[in-house]
Amino acid sequence: MEIRCNLDDLSPEQASHALGRILDQGALDATLTPAVMKKGRSGWILEVICYPGQADKLSKLILSETTAFGIRRHRMERMILERHHITVATPYGEVTVKVGTLEGKTLQQSPEFSSCAAAAERHSVPVRLVYQAALSALNSEAFPKE
Amino acid sequence: MEIRCNLDDLSPEQASHALGRILDQGALDATLTPAVMKKGRSGWILEVICYPGQADKLSKLILSETTAFGIRRHRMERMILERHHITVATPYGEVTVKVGTLEGKTLQQSPEFSSCAAAAERHSVPVRLVYQAALSALNSEAFPKE
Amino acid sequence: MEIRCNLDDLSPEQASHALGRILDQGALDATLTPAVMKKGRSGWILEVICYPGQADKLSKLILSETTAFGIRRHRMERMILERHHITVATPYGEVTVKVGTLEGKTLQQSPEFSSCAAAAERHSVPVRLVYQAALSALNSEAFPKE
Amino acid sequence: MEIRCNLDDLSPEQASHALGRILDQGALDATLTPAVMKKGRSGWILEVICYPGQADKLSKLILSETTAFGIRRHRMERMILERHHITVATPYGEVTVKVGTLEGKTLQQSPEFSSCAAAAERHSVPVRLVYQAALSALNSEAFPKE
Amino acid sequence: MEIRCNLDDLSPEQASHALGRILDQGALDATLTPAVMKKGRSGWILEVICYPGQADKLSKLILSETTAFGIRRHRMERMILERHHITVATPYGEVTVKVGTLEGKTLQQSPEFSSCAAAAERHSVPVRLVYQAALSALNSEAFPKE
Amino acid sequence: MEIRCNLDDLSPEQASHALGRILDQGALDATLTPAVMKKGRSGWILEVICYPGQADKLSKLILSETTAFGIRRHRMERMILERHHITVATPYGEVTVKVGTLEGKTLQQSPEFSSCAAAAERHSVPVRLVYQAALSALNSEAFPKE
């Protein structure tokens, strides 16, 4: 399900807080998009992705945590990669990599940012270095030819 | 219904004017979201919310008031708070408050901004003061425990 | 069909490149909207419009060209203007104009930007002048009264 | 002078109201740009353009009308077109056109949007038609070769 | 000092991480604004506010933590409110309020969001309720007449 | 120099075209930032970076290519990395890498996107693969410890 509402009456820090609460309560993803609302007001569109079984609970949460007087929602079809994690060795220690496959084919290998950031902090280097080292450590042959 | 179209060929003042016309003709809400379009053009996504009975009329209005050559639309399910208005007394005079309830429970009490702005002008104070005074005047006990 | 995904892990130049690839592979339109994602990350929502027959191919392209681990999609109803092209004479040479009609009524006459830009370059004038000259050359009587 | 501040604690309708107040009090221009602030909050940068003599008054207005605890400002050099207005006849009546010149050369001829909108309303036609008619009515020869 | 650079080659999660690092290293404030860059790329403008004594250190940090190959910077004049904190009693416990004064006059009284959020969590109520209760508890007489 | 102006009267395709012209005429960089302008119009702030010797020429170009009736500008101090290019071997052929150094220290090694895109097209693989291969090929030891 995708749940949406327009917000023109909520301060940025309250909006950010609401986003966190919605994710804590089981939403798959949630975003705030800046938009121009009626009367030229600058507000946001809140967009929440969740399983259908969570939709009622999250709709009510939105109506009580934000200033929205209504939400709209509809069913989406999803196509997702199967995901698993692998570990690669880098000069900065081991880093976790998220791997996404579709019908048995690897389409994505993505170093976990939080894992890179932790290693970067341990070695006092920019996180970009660790990220690049993790990419180097991946066997690029494993990547799909299109 | 949600009606959407991508605009990459309309000046901002024309886009704002179209937004006003669409709301005048019965849309429930309408927003403009800045987006990057094909060929790296910076444009907007126009999003209009309306009752199904208004969808054809508003679709044609969009096609004649904007530069869009096509719109897309789909049905959404809505969940809305029941709303009524109350009046509270503040040091700056009476202010209207919009109250939203769901299944008999009050979820929102929101001072009407235009009502606050009018009171602020009469007393030459920042509108924030009137807004806060209206919140103070509301009986905070009436708010829901989650 | 409308296909959407949230991107918080792709650099702007990769995102722009992916947009081009998606359009090359048959999408009707594709946009990137800046949004605030979970954990306060600043990312984009990618939105692709396509015919249902292209949806599977484009979904897989998105999953391999971007860093998304999932997409969501749903069917939209479209209302489009019939379009044909006419040519108008301007002081800067001929310019192509795109004409949109609905139920036999002309709703849009829009000078092709690339055609205006080419004429502007040939005559070393700002493109705005050519655009305005093309509008002048159109018979404004042909426009619909609402 | 350009005055700027970051706002992460003000609702959109209050921000829009503040923008109006600032323009009423003599600012030359004022804009709100959506931005991601510290802690991943989605807020705005407020930017106000004014004459140096107005800077103190407007700085204080910003500090009392918004939630900013500080503003920053600096002097800019301006280059502006000299402007005057002319009137052109269109099938929808007379329309005002703003003309901008630099060192005696006409660089801009821009139909006033509010004047077009008024004519459009009188004749019940889309404002785009009136805008285009006004452009047609301008003697395009008068435009500068670059 | 205001330091700025254009980023078109950094992923959102790296950009957010860099923002955090910059604030940790002593910047007064830092924001990311979405913008359209050359070649139609969708990127960000990074804007950092700092004391002049920090400018060199932060400039180098930006050049090593982001993908920017150059920064630009200039001196701004600041006008800031003097700030102190007070505590108010609410039905949800004590809440900290930030008070801003200019030339002895109170211009701002702003409940600390983190303090409200903590109280809201302790009492399992929406943070909005605590925020409003804190505003109610403030003596609105203390506010300035303009 | 930084040159800026607010645009609320230019269509997105014209704005993008103007951006290209400004870069062709010698600007160092140019960006469009979506913003809410006066009367709630959704427009852009155009920002151009250039050498002082180009400022007058580019200011006039902006005033004739866009609908702006005025620009503002001011001097910025720049700090830039020294840059040179190296070539690295990847499974997809040679790729150009831009290297940025400050006071003799390498701070940035960035594969040229266009070079990666060309290699990706030759081998029919996603550009991400080439980009990652180029990063792998770089000797990560060469990177600076902070």
- F60-69 tens-digit pLDDT: 999 988 889 9
Is the pLDDT at E144 greater than 70? The verdict is no
Q: How far is CA E123 from the centre of its chain?
A: 27
Query: What's the pLDDT at B76?
Result: 93
b (16+ CB within 10 A) / e for C43-79:
bbbbbbbbeeebbeebbbbbbbbbbbbbbbbeeeeeb
Query: What's the pLDDT at D139?
Result: 54
- A86-123 tens-digit pLDDT: 999 989 999 999 999 998 888 888 889 899 999 999 99
- Least Cα distance to C51 among C26, C73, C30, C17 occurs for C26
B83 phi/psi in degrees, rounded to 5: -125, 140
Residues 6+ apart with CB under 8 A from A41: A8, D12, D13, D15, D16, F40
What is the C-alpha separation between D28 and D52, in angstroms, rounded? 11
**E strands in chain C:** 2-7, 29-36, 42-49, 70-74, 77-80, 82-90, 93-102, 105-111
Instruction: Give the mutation candidate from B69, B71, B74, B75 for the C interface (greatest C CB count, under 10 A).
Output: B69
Size of interface E-F (CB pairs under 8 A): 72
∠B132-B136-B139 over CA atoms, to 5°?
Answer: 145
Token pair recorded at residue E32: 């990311």
Is the pLDDT at E143 greater than 80? The verdict is no
Q: How far is CA D47 from the centre of its chain?
A: 12
Are F80 and E67 in contact (CB < 8 Å)?
Answer: no
- B88-145 tens-digit pLDDT: 998 999 999 999 999 889 888 889 989 999 999 999 888 888 888 888 887 543 444 3
What is the C-alpha separation between B131 and B121, in angstroms, rounded? 12
- D71-121 tens-digit pLDDT: 999 999 999 999 999 999 989 999 999 999 998 898 888 889 899 999 999
Query: Average pLDDT in the B33-41 region?
Result: 87
Nearest to B69 among C34, C100, C144 (CB): C100
Q: What is the value of pTM for the model shown? A: 0.85
- Which ranges in A8-54 belong to alpha helices (H)? 12-24
Q: How far is CA A111 from the centre of its chain?
A: 15
**What ipTM does this complex have?**
0.84
pLDDT band at residue D145 using 50, 70 and 90 as cut-offs: very low
What is the C-alpha separation between A110 and A86, in angstroms, rounded? 10
Residues 6+ apart with CB under 8 A from B92: B119, B120, B122, B123, B125, B129, B130, B133
Query: What's the pLDDT at C49?
Result: 96
Is the pLDDT at F126 greater than 90? The verdict is no
pLDDT band at residue F133 using 50, 70 and 90 as cut-offs: confident
pLDDT tens digits for chain C (146 residues)? 999 999 988 888 888 889 999 999 999 999 999 998 888 888 899 999 999 999 999 999 999 888 899 999 999 999 999 999 999 998 999 999 999 999 889 888 888 989 999 999 999 888 888 888 888 887 544 444 33
What is the C-alpha separation between C62 and F127, in angstroms, rounded? 13
Identify the sign of the CA torsion C54, C55, C61, C62. positive
Q: Contacts of residue E144 in chain D, CB cutoff 8 Å?
A: 64
Percent of chain B with pLDDT over 90: 58
Q: Contacts of residue B80 in chain A, CB cutoff 8 Å?
A: 69-71
B71 phi/psi in degrees, rounded to 5: -125, 160
Token pair recorded at residue F90: 């990847």
What is the C-alpha separation between D10 and D44, in angstroms, rounded? 9
Identify the sign of the CA torsion C61, C63, C65, C68. positive
- B52-61 tens-digit pLDDT: 999 999 999 9
Q: Which residues of chain A have pLDDT under 70?
A: 139-146
- Least Cα distance to F22 among A67, A62, E36 occurs for E36
- D22-75 tens-digit pLDDT: 999 999 999 999 998 888 888 899 999 999 999 999 999 999 888 899 999 999
Residues 6+ apart with CB under 8 A from D120: D92, D126, D127, D129, D130
Query: What's the pLDDT at C145?
Result: 37
Q: Which of left, alpha, beta for E133 (phi over 0: left; psi -120 to 50: alpha)?
A: alpha
Query: What's the pLDDT at F144?
Result: 39
Q: Are the CB atoms for F143 and F100 separated by under 8 Å?
A: no
Q: Contacts of residue A34 in chain C, CB cutoff 8 Å?
A: 34-35
Query: Average pLDDT in the E121-131 region?
Result: 87
What is the C-alpha separation between E72 and F49, in angstroms, rounded? 9
Neighbours of chain E (3+ CB pairs under 8 A): A, B, C, D, F
What is the C-alpha separation between E83 and C5, in angstroms, rounded? 43
Neighbours of chain B (3+ CB pairs under 8 A): A, C, D, E, F
Around F118, how many Cα atoms within 13 Å sit in the side-chain half-sphere? 9
